[in-house]
Amino acid sequence: EPCGLPQMCAQRYGTVPIVTLCGGLKDSVIVEPEDVATGFGILPLNINKFKEICYAAFDTYYSKPEAFQAMQRRGMETDFSWCPRIDEYAQILDWTLADPPFVR
């Protein structure tokens, strides 16, 4: 699914998602830097990269439980509500109206 809600719902309940870095998935799951990550991302999309990222997720879960739990917390605390998006959209509209494009 190119975006949808599953990864957002998963993060809200403490699941650390593994996603392909396309569309809205790359916008809703932070994969780096490690100290702000909320999930793991696969790019380029191929079987070897998929295995590499799965092993990295397993390694983080088993070898670095504090880091994994921090990813869970960050995902659970992420604000996916419309409020910040509305403010961003309003800002873009303000910029557009302040400097309209030249049209002949």
Burial class from Cβ neighbours inside 10 Å (0-12, 13-18, 19+) for residue 11 reads: buried
What CATH number is given for 6-98 in this structure?
Answer: 3.40.50.2000
Beta bridge partners of residue 42, listed in sequence order: 20
pLDDT given for residue 23 in this prediction:
85
- Asked if 41 contacts 26 with a C-beta cutoff of 8 angstroms, the reply is yes
- Mean of pLDDT values over 11-34: 93
Dihedral of CA 9/39/18/64: which sign?
Answer: negative
What is the pLDDT confidence band of residue 85, given thresholds at 50, 70 and 90? Answer: confident
Q: Backbone phi, then psi, for 40, in 5-degree steps?
A: -120, 140
pLDDT given for residue 2 in this prediction:
63
In the chain, % helix, strand, coil (3-state, to 5) comes to 60, 5, 35
Domain spans, the chain: 6-98
> Using one digit for the tens of pLDDT, what is the confidence trace for 45-80?
999 999 999 999 999 999 999 999 999 999 999 999
pLDDT given for residue 1 in this prediction:
57
Mean pLDDT of the chain: 92
